[in-house]
Structure 1
Amino acid sequence: MSGPEREKKLRILIVDDNPDDVFLIKQNITEAAAGRFVIETASALKEGLEKAADSDVVLLDLSLPDSSGIATLEKMGKTRPGLPIIVITGLNDEGTAIDAVKTGAQDYIVKDTLDGKLLVKAVQYAVERKKIEAEAAAARAELEVILDSSPNAMFIVDSELTVKKANRTSEKTFGRSRESMTGEFLGNAINCENCGGGAKCGDNKECRRCAIRLFAIDAGAENERYERLEVKKVMKTGGGVEEKYFYFSVVPVTYRGEHSVLVSLEDTTVRKRMEERLEKANEQLIELDAVKSNFLAMVSHELRTPLTSIRGYITLILGGAAGKLNSEQVSFVESVRNNTEKLVLLINDLLDMSKIELGTFSVKKSRQDVSMIVKKTCRDMEAANAHRQVKIRFKSEPEENYAPVDSHRLSQVVANLINNACKHAPDNSEVLVSVSCAEDEAGERPQIGTLITVEDKGTGIEKENLERVFNRFFQVVEEEKRAHKGVGLGLNIAKGIVDAHGGRIWAESEGRGKGAKFSVFLPEE
């Protein structure tokens, strides 16, 4: 069909056993709207029921050979519930007209008052009303499905907070049937403690502070929506009262043609209880961690006294105070001294770690040449790592870089980074150490300061471990623990020292086998 598609013709079914009345009805329709309708007829209800399936609207006489009265309308309505029916009868009776409309008729027309134009309008209105009713019914059905499939308890309430509809989840949440909640005030429906003893939702002064009530009223009055607000409610239970937690949302909606509010309640009591238990357990862990740190600090401090005595006696023995030693005895005592020094370093690390964890670690800063401190540390570390055949190369641009630092603690950081780099660097390679002026943009605002970097060409670090390397006791793989003896405190302590300077330390690496670069930024205060 070329051009715009023609409007579809409505199919009208006239069910009437009087040929004259049928002719009159057809003539009125044709004169008022020629060519706009397709008209079918039936002279009995049985025939009409068969033809109704292909019709858009039925003009039904209530007095037929095989049926009479309102029963005729009821039978036709059951055949096609969505079919618009207009009663056209010779009976001018108001009671029958009212019963017909209540039974489902879209209109009631007396044959003696028949008018073609009014009849056509009645047909059009009947079809349109039925279409709107069908759409509304579908929307209600969809709303029912949405409400009942929601994991949250949901209520539709009017402006007075009277429950008009409750979903299935509300039954499980509040232990009541939907039927028993419908018609009650919302507070009574959800077993609010303030709605007991005959009191209604809103009667108690506590209701004035109820968040659910206040937001629901505001949502209806101001046409505003509020989502996922947290509230604690005291609810009545079979054995008394219980504190429960909810996330609630309130949304203005239209329900059955009335302005209403949808109230959604997500019961978070179990999750809240779990969060509270986890928080309590976390507090206990923090307390235990503090006890452990205090214990480590105490034990480490107590170990220092006998170690100081041991170091003193070793010096005396090696100096000949207990008699001259042969070469083998000297070797034995030297071994004792070396291991004693390692133990001293370990105890010092444990003490530093404990102070950092307890928040008692501090630095004594003064303005000093960072380049000089790092350069001296490089010389000391090159001698200490001579057995590893690793060259330490130092450069500074410019030659002097002043910053407020604790020289002893900064030297400890650099020594740790260099020692760590030498451990992982291959033989006959270089560790590059540099000092320069720099700007750090990692924080909330850019900072000017001094940048120290230590770079090696060694085993490298996986991307996921670049931050974890600063955790206490962390070592990348078991092979490292065997190859490079240590407890994994050095980088953790270095981070604590840098943090105490208000600076930043970080690691960079392209991955395993591609070396690593550690950077320390010290701000110019």
Structure 2
Amino acid sequence: MVNNSATVQPVLQSSAAQEALSVLLVEDNLGDAFLIQGMLGVVGASEAKEFQLQHVERLGDAIATLKQHPYQVILLDLSLPDSRGLQSLEQLEQVVPSVPVVILTGTNDETLATQAVNQGAQDYLVKGQITQEVLVRSIRYAIERQRTDEVLRLRTLELEETNQELKRQAQQLADANADLAAFNHTVAHDLRNPLAGIKTACALLNASLGEQDGKVTRYLGMIQDYSHQMGDVFEGLLQLAQLSHSPLQVQSVDLSATAQMIVSQLKIQHPKRQVKVAIAPQILVRGDSRLLWMLLDHLVSNAWKFTHGCQPANIEVGLCQSSDLPETMPCLAEQRVYFVKDNGIGFNMQHSEQVFTPFQQLTPEDEGQGIGLAMARCIVARHGGQIWCNTATGQGATFYWTLPLPAAQSAA
């Protein structure tokens, strides 16, 4: 039986202007149904009722009613003439999945209550323990929770649709980049042979002419120079395409030892240069040793080149400590920041992105084809990191890049 107390007042009063909540009561026990109606204030005359209640005794009648009229909440008994247990809840949710259901039962079974809530019921009330306050609050909360769940469901669907669209766009971008890289590789590869033929023909023609015509010889020299420049561009395109597609051979790499070997080679190539190089010891990372060699080679060689004329010339290779990093640096979680720093000529920070663009040179005096830093960015990106620079004209440059932590360091 349902316990009703005459001393309990309704916990949530509605104003006359507020629309009554529509409730469908599915209960075959007429005595319990009458008490529920009394608790909800739908028995007797009243100027403003908080609830409008429709009572049916069978699940089939409830389903038929729900197909014809909308209700804001369902009070469901689990012992009906045509359905028993949680099967009743399952059938209702198939018909009206968005309407909250509050279970009313004479069985005080905690396991059954948990199963009912897990299956979608908003609450589980035991007859004989229900008060007016508990019932009204349960109905109110059930409606609000269902509204919240519906909002979350719609937001989740929106996020899933947005995520799918982002994945589609990312795939399109990846496909476009792959097509572009393949095109670059094809163009560079296919044009190398005819370009080599042009250079060979110019050399043979120049040799056959000798000193007979100085103007023709000069023009042939110009053609050869331009051919060499074009060949360098094609080689750069091929290298970029290979960097984008070649699989990574990940292993432990000692960046300190790599930097030492690169500096040793530079000293052999430029024996008259006096450059002070400081390399932090034991900079251990995981990555492709060949690509990381290329990365350091580009960065250290640039620092070596642009400190020419500096007295003294200083280059530093190291690992940033987290306490030394400005808040504006784009560092990522589970990554460390490395750097190559010099006191060379530097450049305007307005060009800090341009330097990573293929075949871009800041001054006509720059040697090479402007491919080195573009390759550096590609290498860092292949390893899941970022690269950026901090510089000022006449004040040197520092190139920073991030790499994921080695597994042992990340776990620590």
Q: How high is the TM-score relative to the length of structure 1? A: 0.42
CA shift in 2, pair 1:391/1:218, >3 Å = farther
Over the aligned positions, Cα root-mean-square deviation in angstroms equals: 6.4
**Bigger Rg over Cα:** 1
Q: Give runs of aligned pairs for residues 97-112 of structure 1, distance below 5 A.
A: none
Matched residue type, 2:278: K
Q: Deviations over 1:264-294 (max 9, x none)?
A: 1324376455445424423431332232133
Are 1:409 and 1:497, in contact at CA under 8 Å, matched by a contact in 2? Answer: no
Which structure dedicates a bigger proportion of its chain to strand? 1
Matched residue type, 1:321: L
Indicate the residue corresponding to 2:362 in structure 1. 483
Q: Take 1:348 and 1:219, find their aligned partners in 2: how far apart are those partners?
A: 74
Indicate the residue corresponding to 1:298 in structure 2. 182
Q: Deviations over 1:171-197 (max 9, x none)?
A: xxxxxxx989821479x9xx9899448
Q: Give runs of aligned pairs for residues 303-342 of structure 1, distance below 5 A.
A: 303-310=187-194, 312-313=196-197, 316-317=200-201, 320-324=203-207, 326-342=217-233
Displacement after TM superposition at 1:423 (Å): 9.4
Q: Take 1:424 and 1:230, find their aligned partners in 2: how far apart are those partners?
A: 68
Displacement after TM superposition at 1:454 (Å): 0.7
CA shift in 2, pair 1:418/1:520, >3 Å = farther
Q: Structure 2: which 5+ residue stretches go unaligned? A: 1-5, 28-32, 41-47, 211-216, 323-330, 364-368
Q: How high is the TM-score relative to the length of structure 2? A: 0.50
The answer on 1:259 being equivalent to 2:102 is no
Matched residues, number:
318
Matched residue type, 2:262: T
Indicate the residue corresponding to 2:400 in structure 1. 518
Q: Take 2:104 and 2:302, find their aligned partners in 1: how far apart are those partners?
A: 64
Q: Take 2:347 and 2:362, find their aligned partners in 1: how far apart are those partners?
A: 12
Higher RCO structure (Cα 8 Å, ≥6 apart): 2
Q: Structure 1: which 5+ residue stretches go unaligned? A: 1-128, 166-177, 233-247, 356-360, 463-468
The share of aligned pairs that are identical, in percent, is 11
Q: Take 1:425 and 1:493, find their aligned partners in 2: how far apart are those partners?
A: 25
CA shift in 2, pair 1:317/1:510, >3 Å = closer
Are 1:391 and 1:431, in contact at CA under 8 Å, matched by a contact in 2? Answer: no
Q: Give runs of aligned pairs for residues 181-196 of structure 1, distance below 5 A.
A: 182-184=52-54, 195-196=66-67
SS in 1 for 2:53: coil
The answer on 1:413 being equivalent to 2:298 is no
CA shift in 2, pair 1:213/1:493, >3 Å = same
Are 2:26 and 2:55, in contact at CA under 8 Å, matched by a contact in 1? Answer: no
Aligned partner of 1:346 among 214, 234, 237: 237
Q: Take 2:222 and 2:268, find their aligned partners in 1: how far apart are those partners?
A: 21
Indicate the residue corresponding to 2:326 in structure 1. none
Are 1:460 and 1:509, in contact at CA under 8 Å, matched by a contact in 2? Answer: no
CA shift in 2, pair 1:213/1:397, >3 Å = same
Q: Take 1:340 and 1:219, find their aligned partners in 2: how far apart are those partners?
A: 85
Are 1:461 and 1:515, in contact at CA under 8 Å, matched by a contact in 2? Answer: no
SS in 2 for 1:362: coil
The answer on 1:140 being equivalent to 2:24 is no
SS in 2 for 1:483: coil
Q: Take 1:156 and 1:306, find their aligned partners in 2: how far apart are those partners?
A: 77
The answer on 1:454 being equivalent to 2:340 is yes
Q: Take 2:341 and 2:104, find their aligned partners in 1: how far apart are those partners?
A: 63
Q: Take 1:278 and 1:180, find their aligned partners in 2: how far apart are those partners?
A: 41
